[in-house]
């Protein structure tokens, strides 16, 4: 599957020159997600940034899960 994507990438320049920029294709959405990682790394101790960022992201996901009405089922008291 990745070979197809790589092969398609070889023709991208020619296609853009021939047909113009791709419509309905954007990178801003994904690039703006980098700011989330940057904000998470601001309070990092810089010794283990991946660990610090993953901890902040996990805390945010947990908070979002709880505030949106989610719950964890207890395996013992089912």
Kindly tell me if the per-residue pLDDT of 59 is higher than 70.
Answer: yes
Total domains in the chain come to 1
Structural domain contains residue 77: no
Tokens 């940057």 belong to which residue? 38
Domain that holds residue 28: 2-67
Cα separation, 68 vs 65, in Å, equals 5
Q: What is the per-residue burial (b if ≥16 Cβ within 10 Å, else e) of 10-37?
A: eeeeeeeeeeeeeeeeeeeeeeeeeeee
Question: Quick check: pTM over 0.75?
Answer: no
User: Given this model, what pLDDT does residue 60 score?
Assistant: 87
Structural domain contains residue 76: no
Structural domain contains residue 72: no
Kindly tell me if the per-residue pLDDT of 51 is higher than 80.
Answer: yes
Kindly tell me if the per-residue pLDDT of 17 is higher than 80.
Answer: yes
Going by the DSSP 8-state scheme, the letter that residue 25 receives in this structure is -
User: Given this model, what pLDDT does residue 26 score?
Assistant: 62
User: Given this model, what pLDDT does residue 1 score?
Assistant: 46
Average pLDDT, the chain: 78
């Amino acid at each position: 599957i990745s070979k197809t994507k790589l092969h398609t990438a070889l023709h991208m320049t020619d296609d853009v020159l021939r047909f113009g920029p791709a419509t309905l294709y954007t990178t801003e959405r994904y690039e703006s997600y980098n700011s989330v990682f940057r904000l998470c790394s601001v309070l990092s101790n810089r010794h283990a940034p991946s660990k610090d960022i993953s901890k902040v992201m996990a805390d945010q996901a947990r908070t979002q899960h709880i505030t949106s009405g989610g719950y964890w089922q207890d395996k013992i008291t089912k």
